[in-house]
Amino acid sequence: MKPFPTWLLDRTKLADSHTLATYKKAGGYQALEKVLKQPLAPADVIQELKVSELRGRGGAGFPTGMKWSFMPDPAKDPRPRYLAINADESEPGTCKDRVLMERDPHGLIEGALIACYAIRAQAAYIYVRGEYRLSYQRCQAALDEARAAGLLGKNILGTDFSCEVHMHKGAGAYICGEETGLMESLEGKRGHPRPKPPFPAMFGLWGQPTTVNNVETIFNVPFIVARGGAWHAGIGTKGSKGNFLCGISGHVNKPGVYELPFGVTARAIVDEVAGGVWKGRQCKAWFPGGSSCSLVRGEDLDVVLDHDSLKTKGSSLGTAAMVIIDDHTSIARVMEIIARFYDHESCGQCSQCREGTQWLAQIFHRIATGHGQPDDLATLESLAQGMAPGKTICALSDAAAIPTLSAVRLFRDELAACIREQRDPIPYPRVEYAGAH
C-alpha cells in the first residue's frame, strides 16, 4: 500500500492525547478560531462542507453539507435548534467512534461547536451508548476543560457566539443509533423510531429543527474548515472522499481500528494492514461494514472499499467495520448470532420486524443445532422479503433481512447440508441458554 496522508488518528498517538494541553499544542481549536474571528458566515462553512464531499460515517453515507443545508432559514423559522451527535455506536463490528472519544475528545467538541455555528444551533447533545463509560468520562472532562478555557458556553473566544455541548448517556439499546430513535431516547422515552417525514431538520429534538451526525463525521469538520473543502475532495475515489476509520475484527492476525483512504482494496486491508487471516487460513466470507450489510464471499476481497464499489458485490460500506470470517467457521452459526441480535434489538413497533426478526432467529437457531426443516431456506427468503425494503418505520427490519438474504444466496449449499444432515457439519462450541429480553 502506498503511503498516504493521515489526520483522523494522528493526535491519538500523542501522550495525554485526551487533554486540552495536548490538543492545543497540536493546533487544536484553530479551526474554531478561524470560523469565529475571520469570521466565516454559517453559509460559508456549509459551502466548505459541500465542496469537501464529506459523507456521513454512521453507515448511511449521506452528504454532510447537504444535510446541514436542510436546516430551515432562521430568518423564517426562529425556533430553537439542536445538533445531536450520534455516539451510540452499536453496529456489530463497529468500534471506531470510541477511539476518537476516548483518545481525542476535544476534536469532537471542536467539530461540534463549528457544526452548531454552521447550522445555528444553540446546543449539541452527544448521545453516547451507556456502555462507553470511558468515552463519556473523557468527553465530559474535555467539556469541563473547554468551558474553563472560554471555548464553551457564553461568548466563546470573546465573540458573540454562544453554544452548549452536553453529554447524554444511552442505556444499551441498538435502536437508539437510528436517528429518530435516538431523539426519542434523548427526550427520555423508549427508543421508538419516528415515521419520516417529518425529517429531523424540521421536527427533531422536542419538535425543533435538529441535525443528527455521527462522531467521525463531526470529527472531520475542523480539518475541513482548517484545510479547505478542496483539500478533502482531492483524496479518495469518485463519490467517496477523504480517509475513513476502518475497524477490522474477527479472524485476522491484527484486528484494530485503522485510518485508511477510500480506494484501498479489502484484500490490502486484510493482508497488509491487519496481518492476514489468522492461523494461515482462508477468508470464507466477510461483512464490509457491520452485520447489517450483505455478506461478501472471501473470493471477492479485491473489491475497493468505498460507498459505490461494494454495490458491485451486492453489499455496502455501512460503518466500514469489516468482520472477517475464516473457512473453518459455520455460516449457520454466524447467522444464528446475527439473527439473535436483531431479534433482541427490534423495538417492536412494526409487526414485520417484531415477528420477522423472531422467526429469523428461531429458524437459524434450529438450522445451526441440527433441527432444520426442509423448507427453511425458502421460509427465510420469504420472511426476509416481507421485512424489506422500506416496509417498516426504520431500517432495523432491513438490517436483519439483508444479511439473511445474502447468507442464503451465497451459502445455500452449506445451509442446505445442515438441514439435510440434521447437524452442522462444522463443529462449533456452544453453551445453551435461554435468551433474555
Contact between 248 and another protein by CB under 8 A: the answer reads: yes
| Residue 65 Cβ vs another protein, minimum distance, rounded to whole Å | 27
| Residue 96 Cβ vs another protein, minimum distance, rounded to whole Å | 9
Contact between 431 and another protein by CB under 8 A: the answer reads: yes
Asked if 59 contacts 289 with a C-beta cutoff of 8 angstroms, the reply is yes
**Closer residue to another protein in complex, CB, 173/270:** 173
Q: d(Cα 435, Cα 437) in Å, to the nearest integer?
A: 7
**Closer residue to another protein in complex, CB, 202/337:** 337
Contact between 272 and another protein by CB under 8 A: the answer reads: no
- Select the residue interacting with another protein from 341, 400, 406, 410 (CB under 8 A): 341
- Binding piece for another protein, criterion CB under 8 A, among 28-36, 38-46, 110-118, 429-437: 429-437
- Select the residue interacting with another protein from 2, 75, 78, 434 (CB under 8 A): 434
**Closer residue to another protein in complex, CB, 10/187:** 187
The site map against another protein for 250-269 (x = CB under 8 A) is xx---xxx------------
Cis peptide before 63 (omega within 30 of 0): no
Total residues at interface with another protein (CB under 8 A): 62
- Select the residue interacting with another protein from 63, 72, 80, 153 (CB under 8 A): 80
- Select the residue interacting with another protein from 83, 212, 270, 325 (CB under 8 A): 325
- Select the residue interacting with another protein from 1, 21, 43, 134 (CB under 8 A): 134
Residue with cell 480517509: 243
- Binding piece for another protein, criterion CB under 8 A, among 241-249, 300-308, 377-385, 415-423: 241-249
**Closer residue to another protein in complex, CB, 166/238:** 166
| Residue 123 Cβ vs another protein, minimum distance, rounded to whole Å | 8
In what helix (H) or strand (E) does residue 398 lie, and over which residues does it extend?
helix 396-410
In what helix (H) or strand (E) does residue 109 lie, and over which residues does it extend?
helix 105-119
Asked if 26 contacts 33 with a C-beta cutoff of 8 angstroms, the reply is no
Q: d(Cα 77, Cα 79) in Å, to the nearest integer?
A: 6
Contact between 13 and another protein by CB under 8 A: the answer reads: no
- Alpha-carbon dihedral 199, 202, 206, 210, rounded to 10 degrees: 80
Q: d(Cα 284, Cα 28) in Å, to the nearest integer?
A: 43
433 sits in the region (left: phi over 0; alpha: psi -120 to 50; else beta) called beta
User: Residue 154 carries which side chain, given as an amino acid letter?
Assistant: K
Residue with cell 473543502: 229
- Binding piece for another protein, criterion CB under 8 A, among 10-18, 183-191, 265-273, 297-305: 183-191
Q: Which residues 295-324 are close enough to bind another protein by CB under 8 A?
A: 321, 323
- Select the residue interacting with another protein from 71, 124, 173, 363 (CB under 8 A): 173
Q: d(Cα 135, Cα 105) in Å, to the nearest integer?
A: 8
- Select the residue interacting with another protein from 67, 129, 313, 365 (CB under 8 A): 129
Q: d(Cα 86, Cα 60) in Å, to the nearest integer?
A: 13
- Select the residue interacting with another protein from 7, 68, 117, 132 (CB under 8 A): 132
- Select the residue interacting with another protein from 58, 61, 65, 92 (CB under 8 A): 92
Q: Is 61 helix (H, G, I), strand (E, B) or coil?
A: coil
DSSP state letters, 313-382 = GT---TT-EEEEEETTS-HHHHHHHHHHHHHHH--SSSHHHHHHHHHHHHHHHHHHTT---TTHHHHHHH
- Binding piece for another protein, criterion CB under 8 A, among 11-19, 49-57, 299-307, 328-336: 328-336
User: Residue 169 carries which side chain, given as an amino acid letter?
Assistant: K
Asked if 242 contacts 54 with a C-beta cutoff of 8 angstroms, the reply is yes
Q: Is the dihedral of CA 303, 308, 312, 317 positive or negative?
A: positive
Residues at the contact surface with another protein, assessed by CB under 8 A: 80, 89-95, 98, 125, 129-134, 164, 166, 168-174, 185-191, 206, 247-251, 255-257, 287, 291, 321, 323, 325, 329, 333-334, 337-338, 341, 344-345, 347, 428-431, 433-434, 436
